[in-house]
Copies of this chain bind each other. A is one copy, B any other.
Amino acid sequence: MRVQETPHKPRRQESNEPRWLRPDQEEAWISLTGVLLKLPFALDADLRQQAGIGHFEYLILSVLSERGDHTMPMGDLATLANSSPSRTSHAVSRLEAKGWVGRQQDALNGRFMLVRLTEDGFAFLQSAAPGHVATVQELVFDSLDVEQVKQLDGIAKSILSRLHSHGHWPPPGTRPPSGKDSGAASA
């Protein structure tokens, strides 16, 4: 960003005046951009090295593991993993090839595809989790005090809320989540 493209708050656009960023917003935006580009890379690299799996695939296993029966319909999985149906389906295919998840049609409604975490998948997750949690602690939380953690949560939730209400999410091809699960994977 350097979002304002600042070189010149150029000649105002003839028609309607653009709203440039305030200096403090500008600075925060540059910092945020750094996090947006670097942190996912670091998480991915670390996880891939420690566990041979990407951040997003890990997230899928993690989401599944939180269900009592370790099973969830594809669409809900996509929503909770903050992703598109397509991306989720591809990732599930990869995980299936490793034997860590299985697919089966929903017996009650054949349109739903149920994704299930296998025992091997669960065992893998258990082995990978401590290392990943340690990395998250080290990279994100060790440097934040209790107050900042609360602030971070509030700020992130504000942004996510805007994203949804202004139609920048979800991506095309997504169905409205079933039940009360709207918005962020926030619980």
Contact = CB atoms under 8 A, between A and B. Distances in A.
Interface of A: 1-7, 10, 13, 18-22, 24-25, 27-42, 45-46, 56, 58-59, 61-63, 65-66, 81-83, 122, 125-126, 128-130, 132-134, 136-144, 146, 148-163, 166, 168-169, 171, 184-187
A129 B30 CA distance: 15
Contacts of A151: 148, 151-152, 155
B139 A162 contact: yes
**Copies of this chain:** 2
Interface of A is mostly: helix
Nearest to A150: B24
Given A143-B162, A152-B155, 15 more contacts: A1-B58, A3-B129, A5-B61, A5-B62, A5-B125, A7-B122, A21-B141, A22-B149, A25-B141, A28-B149, A29-B141, A32-B140, A36-B36, A139-B168, A140-B159
B149 A25 contact: yes
Nearest to A147: B151
Contact of A18 (B1, B34, B134): B134
